[in-house]
Amino acid sequence: MPEPRGVGLVVGKFAPLHAGHQFLIETARAASGATVIAVYDSPGYGPTVRVRANWIRRLYPDTLVLELDDPVPQGDPEDVSRAYAEHLRSRYAGPPVTHVFSSEEYGARFARELRAEHIPVDPERRRLPVSATLVRSNPFAFRHYLDPGVYRSLVVKVCFVGAESTGKTTLAEAVAERHGTVWMPEYGRELFELERGALVFGDLLRIAREHLRREEKLLEHANRFLLCDTNAITTEFWSRFYFGTADPELEQLARSVERDYAYVLCANDIPWVQDGWRETGGGELWLEHQETIRADLEARGLDYIEASGPVPERVERVSRWLDERGSYSGPACPLSSPAR
């Protein structure tokens, strides 16, 4: 194998990063003394330039990754390549690029603008018959082309919250079935029953951590959405109810994950049902819990929709909301701001 030489450049949207991109990057890394990867804007695609760049940084931590987040220029291909070359020069102050590695037609034009050699890599997709367009058409079907960490970040987590006996479990399971995906049962309920209701203060942090660990495992099997029966902010609520306070680590965990979900507040317009474990009795305390949970969502600045009425109406409401908003728009707000 020839000795690595020069500075290799790979440019792309990486929307999303797939096995073909990784083969391209690894080819450039093997052939170059240093490698630069430039990630540019992809209008209309949910994961931001920062998210896509971080996918690459995680997999190739010793590689320089540039974020070219200016609007995509339009017009003649030569003019577009020239504009991108100028943009790259404004962001990159290292040694001159000597080689541009690409599987696309624009690679040769871009290389000319940089006075570099173009190295085509599997342009006919014979080694890996995959494209970002193909993956975007059905990420679940083509997830074998995606790094597990990349795939997990493409799944929207939808969290169902509300007071006890508001239909969270029923709705999470029903919406998951409607969308052909998986759902995450409430681990706190599982442990509560296992311990015959005798939880201690330290159990609440344990619940939040284990619930999140199970969520992360399920993400790899989720189709667009992972429907979650509560999350760490619910666990924090119950800690305050049972013990009057919450472990600072639980509070921090809840804050760190709160924006990783889209939220559905399950209305308390259905009869309260005793299942042998519930405690609020369907009276004033039940109503108070519901309003406390609503106020907590709003205090945290979390968008949500409210699902009310019979189960079929709730399923239709949530499913329509999910379908209208697609499957990804970024980690800070998994779905665009819904009307309440």
Question: What are the tokens at 52?
Answer: 């896509």
DSSP-derived 3-state class of residue 110: helix
Residue 67 pairs in a beta bridge with 39
Residue at token pair 């199970």: 214
Consecutive H or E run containing 101 = strand 99-102
Each residue's pLDDT, cut to its tens digit, for the chain (340 residues) gives: 467 789 999 999 999 999 999 999 999 999 999 999 999 887 777 789 999 999 999 999 999 999 998 776 677 878 888 888 888 888 899 999 999 999 988 899 999 999 999 999 999 989 999 999 999 999 999 999 999 999 999 999 999 999 998 999 999 999 999 999 999 999 998 998 898 888 999 999 999 999 999 999 999 999 999 999 999 999 999 999 999 999 999 999 999 999 999 999 999 998 777 765 567 666 788 899 999 999 999 999 999 999 999 999 999 999 999 998 765 544 333 443 333 3
pTM, entire model: 0.84
CB 211 within 8 A of CB 231: yes
Domains parsed from the chain with CATH numbers = 7-149 (3.40.50.620), 155-325 (3.40.50.300)
DSSP, residue by residue, 232-265:
HHHHHHHHHHHHSS--HHHHHHHHHHGGGEEEEE
